[in-house]
Structure 1
Amino acid sequence: MTKKKIVLAEDNSTLSLLLKFRLEKEGYELLMAEDGRKALDLIEKETPDLILTDIMMPFVSGLEVISHIRLKLDSDTPIIVFSSAGQEEMVIKAFNLGANDFMGKPFSPNELIIRVKRLLN
């Protein structure tokens, strides 16, 4: 059975590494991007099974990542969005653009894993 591929777009390297470690322990293959531009490159090259993206990132925002996936790539790959508190407007935009799920930071990696499994099964 091939591992499910997840692209993680997150500019906080501490959080990225923590999530990479936890998700790989669950048997997923993690592809890391520290900004939205790199995330889009990875998504186009690797066609992941799931995308995790922060909303606020350098160069290309998480919102732009979502709209690129849904409109340009015409893909329905599940997307989970992260956002810091107080960004309610961004979260609503993310859902309107086609995000499947949302987690406010800081969040529990265990909860993330449950949500990832739910979207991938």
Structure 2
Amino acid sequence: MGDLYNKLRVLIVDDDIDDQIFIREAIKHQYPNSELISFYNGKQVLDYMLKKGVCEDFSHEDPHIVILDINMPFFSGFDVLKELKQYSFTNTIFVMLSTSDLKQDIDKAFKLGADGFFTKPDTVAKYRIVIKEIISKRTKLSTIHVEGLVLNLEKELKKPGTNLIRKTYLSEKIMLLTEYLCNK
């Protein structure tokens, strides 16, 4: 896989320590250089994501993936998702994990902006399958995002009145993004 996947930044938000261990093991098995950080309730991850400095040992770059349990103390996964979707974490995908497979929970998650919803597996092997699906979804979303950037840059490049320096800059950006897409 590309450089992006050599070091994924993943936030795991779940009050169940066993589930956290399963998720960490599944990610590390497939992506050993991943940067993982765990939170045990919704308040902790909101503080972190909104840059209030809860975790000094983790870079404050936006994570690639946020995995949220639905039922947690202080704020539910739904509450966290609703709050964070107000901000522009464009490269972050939000995935809900729950013991619930109720249609109303799944519908609510997607209505609030989740990029995926998975029922919690009961073994590390099953978690590995879920993690693969999450990464696959992220790859597809990243490709769509980059393709959109290229289209926007191409439109700007064709605007009347764009000066030569700006055109050169835009052309270089388009070339880099196109190269990224070709190497995926």
TM-score exceeds 0.5? yes
TM norm structure 1:
0.87
Q: Secondary structure at the match of 1:52?
A: strand
Q: Percent identity?
A: 24
Q: Secondary structure at the match of 1:98?
A: coil
Higher helix residue share: 2
Which amino acid in the other structure matches residue 104 of structure 2? E
Q: Select between 56-65 and 102-111 the one with higher mean Cα deviation.
A: 102-111
Shift of 1:86: 5.1
Gaps of 5+ in 1: none
Are 2:121 and 1:106 aligned? yes
Equivalence map 1:55-94=2 (5 Å): 55-71=70-86, 73-76=87-90, 77-85=92-100, 87-94=102-109
Query: Following the alignment from structure 1 to structure 2, what is the Cα–Cα distance between the partners of residues 119 and 101?
Result: 8
Which residue of 69, 93, 96 maps to 1:54?
A: 69
Query: Following the alignment from structure 1 to structure 2, what is the Cα–Cα distance between the partners of residues 95 and 86?
Result: 13
Choose 1 or 2 for highest CA Rg: 2
Equivalence map 1:27-46=2 (5 Å): 27=31, 28-45=34-51, 46=60
Which residue of 86, 92, 110 maps to 1:95?
A: 110
Shift of 1:110: 1.9
Higher strand residue share: 1
Q: How many aligned positions are there?
A: 120
Q: Secondary structure at the match of 2:23?
A: helix
Q: Secondary structure at the match of 2:75?
A: coil
- Once the two structures are superposed, residues 40-95 of structure 1 have per-residue CA deviations (whole angstroms, 9 ceiling, x without a partner) of 22333432111100111100110011111111x23232111012235432221111
The residue number in structure 1 matching 2:30 is 26
> Aligned-residue CA RMSD in angstroms?
1.8
Which amino acid in the other structure matches residue 59 of structure 1? F
- Whose relative contact order is higher, 1 or 2, with alpha carbons under 8 Å and at least 6 apart? 1
